[in-house]
Structure 1
């Protein structure tokens, strides 16, 4: 007969609940230290925190139909609406079908030139700011990821919408505020977070409407490009209710822009910080990049498979700082996971941040070691011990594009530049929709020797 997972000791419960509001990563670490399956009572709510590869596989893949999007993302619906991150059922399946063709391997390979050009543009921008004055490299990388997104998925330039990244920061702040408050505080209550969100939402609506109008006009003039943006516009036009179609298009586009740039920017920020802190790894990567990309050339699609050590560096950065750090679900019906009962309605959390540090599957888990992703070592680990892009049917649709972008940028920046972290910058992770780096990434830049 199955039983409930163990709960924290009575004396530890207040600390865990307090950390849910102020230190979510700390709460996940504390729970993982208690047991691989922990049950936390939050009044009438029951929270199940699961931290084993087989538990993750059960919830996210094998029995995914029983586990819908949960804690945090449910509340985020009032912030993001019904986009690909928050929708369920037939709406989600239709949205996924619209964007899926844009992420097929052949289509991604065809976009390698655009990704390489944008990556090279970033290197030249950083080279032009070399000197003793610190540069927020994370800010510049975020601009790059938006540019890549515009060119590859939308056939649209985003350079004229400079405020979009700041607006998305406010949206993320509101989403996390709603998660902590369980969506019980109306958006009109005058907290600073909510005031920023209302301004950001107006800005995003204006930007999205302008993008749709521009692309719609080009489509009417015979632009037959078959990208994700065009498919979204056509799907909106086919809806019987024009107002619903317009609203869903806005919400889909906001979600695509947010998820499409934020996770890759976060991965690049952490990768460049870790390389600056580990010069021996940086030197090995630079040697590979100068060999594969000799003569200062930009990478091509076939180079992705030659930049093996660079790929391992990015993978290890995503192990320590996974772009998708938490995967919340709600059990639709009763279930049994690992011999434990999970009742219908329970909130279930799978946390890649702690799963990627499980000592049974990762030796010395806090150490930065790209060699963990040598194929011989990967073969000895359970598949679901490493899930930086999630898993199962809701596996991140843009993972291949994000990896190409991260590998190209990391290779080019390291080949050509030396980046040094400003003294005193600690690189603290803030768990938002991705693991945001608090205070950006201030670095000084020199040409590489």
Structure 2
């Protein structure tokens, strides 16, 4: 029998919708408390929240063609346009096909030395703060991830473009404003957030144009260009349409790659280092493993297989704080998910942040415990219980590079430095396009005893 999912009591609905604006994680927790399938009515609109692995599998994989990108990502189209994060259908398939070769394991494995070099640079930079005042470790990590992105996927130096990280923050702030207001705040209003967004968008497009021009010059000089940027440019040149349309698509696809290529890994590393500082016994095991596997050197590709516990630590950090904290979709046609009816054109949410804390799937789900990712434990869990990189056809194309980067950086930083959170600082998860850390991560740097 097909039935509608249960909804909140009428008296609870205003509070639930208010949390959509001020406490999105709290709203998702409240909804999960009502069951694994919940329907929230917002006037004529319906929002479905599904919180079981088999439900997630249906939406994200089995019937993925019926579910296009949804709230949050739709609002990001003002700057990302039809980039890989926001596009659907044939446009998305074409874009994925263009960039996929740049992410093949063989090519990513060849980038291991570049990732390790950038990780060593981060350690050297942080060491300069040793014994001194606090440093925003998250800000320095963001610089690292942009450096890795530039070297591995764009064949470009992004260190000269310090405005990128701040510009992306402004873009995400605007996307969330439009999501919670359901687009009811006109974009032409001269409000401060709107003005900041327009400045940020101009800056991102300026950087994108510079990167494209530089890469075109290199390609004209005979470089083979197997990187993602070269592939995007070549594909744009093959498309029909005028130069303005080509320029627009190039901007959208490159800005999307810049955002997705650094933001999620920076978020993962920030939360990982924060959790290690809070759990010294886990940090000690990571340090011991890094010393045994790497000695005094930097990691190479083969060392990934020796940094098994460090990998488990990163995986557990992504369980508690998945960088892609929510997977919003819009049902194109009516559907049935786990026996529950889903109305056409309604919003559907799969929330890894909540599912990764499901008490029916995880023992003591709020506890930080890397042992959850031992081989036996992984084999005993449903496949879709853990989806930090999404799932189905839209599974994150950069997952292998992101994991390599996170493991290498975690191992080197933990082996060589002792990072301590500034007294009184409280790490707060801020659910934007990724699950970033509000206010950064101020820490002091000390020598390893």
CA distance in 2, matches of 1:186, 1:41: 24
2:14 aligned with 1:14: yes
Q: Does 1:324 align with 2:324?
A: yes
* Structure-2 separation of matches of 1:79 and 1:232: 18
Paired residue secondary structure (1:364): coil
Structure 2 counterpart of 1:418: 418
Q: Within the alignment, does 1:134 sit opposite 2:134 as a pair?
A: yes
What CA distance in whole angstroms lies between the structure 2 residues aligned with 1:203 and 1:333?
A: 38
Asked if the contact 1:76/1:179 (under 8 Å) is kept, the reply is no
Name 1:338's counterpart in structure 2.
338
For residues 224 and 101 of structure 1, what CA distance do their matches in structure 2 show? 14
Q: Tell which deviates more after alignment, 18-27 or 8-17.
A: 8-17
Match of residue 267 from structure 1 = 268
CA-CA distance at 1:219 after TM superposition: 0.7
Summarize deviations over 1:159-181 as a string: whole Å, max 9, x none. 11111111111111111111111
Alignment of 1:419-434 (within 5 A): 419-434=419-434
**Structure 2 match to 1:305:** 305
Displacement, 1:79? 2.8
Could you say what secondary structure the match of 2:78 adopts? helix
Count of matched residue positions in the alignment of Structure 1 and Structure 2? 448
1:134-171 deviation digits (Å, cap 9, x = unpaired)? 00000000000000000000111011111111111111
Partner of 1:59: 59
Structure 1: 5+ residue stretches without partners: none
Q: TM-score, normalised by structure 2?
A: 0.99
Given that residues 29 and 354 in structure 1 are in contact (C-alpha distance below 8 angstroms), is that contact kept between their aligned partners in structure 2?
yes
Question: Larger deviation: 238-247 or 228-237?
Answer: 238-247
Equivalent residues of 2:225, 2:231 under 8 A apart: no
Q: Give the superposition deviation at 1:183.
A: 2.0
Give the Cα–Cα distance (whole angstroms) in 2 for the partners of residues 389 and 312 of structure 1.
15
CA deviation vs aligned residue, 1:360-408 (integer Å, no higher than 9, x gap) = 0101111000000001111111010000010000111001100000000
Q: Give SS of 1:348's match.
A: strand
Alignment of 1:79-90 (within 5 A): 79-90=79-90
* Aligned partners of 2:72 and 2:433 also within 8 Å: no
Q: How does 1:66-215 map onto structure 2 within 5 Å? A: 66-215=66-215
Q: Tell me, yes or no, if structure 1 residue 282 matches structure 2 residue 283.
A: yes
Rounded Cα–Cα distance in structure 2 between residues aligned with 1:183 and 1:107: 41
Structure 2, gaps ≥5 residues long? none
- Of stretches 147-156 and 63-72 in structure 1, the one that deviates more from structure 2 is 63-72
Structure 2 counterparts to residues 335-414 of structure 1, below 5 A:
335-414=335-414
Once the 2 structures are TM-superposed, how far is the Cα of residue 77 of structure 1 from its aligned partner?
Answer: 1.2
Q: Deviations over 1:75-120 (max 9, x none)?
A: 2212311100001111111111111011111111100000000000
1:246 aligns with 2:247: yes
SS across alignment from 1:427: coil
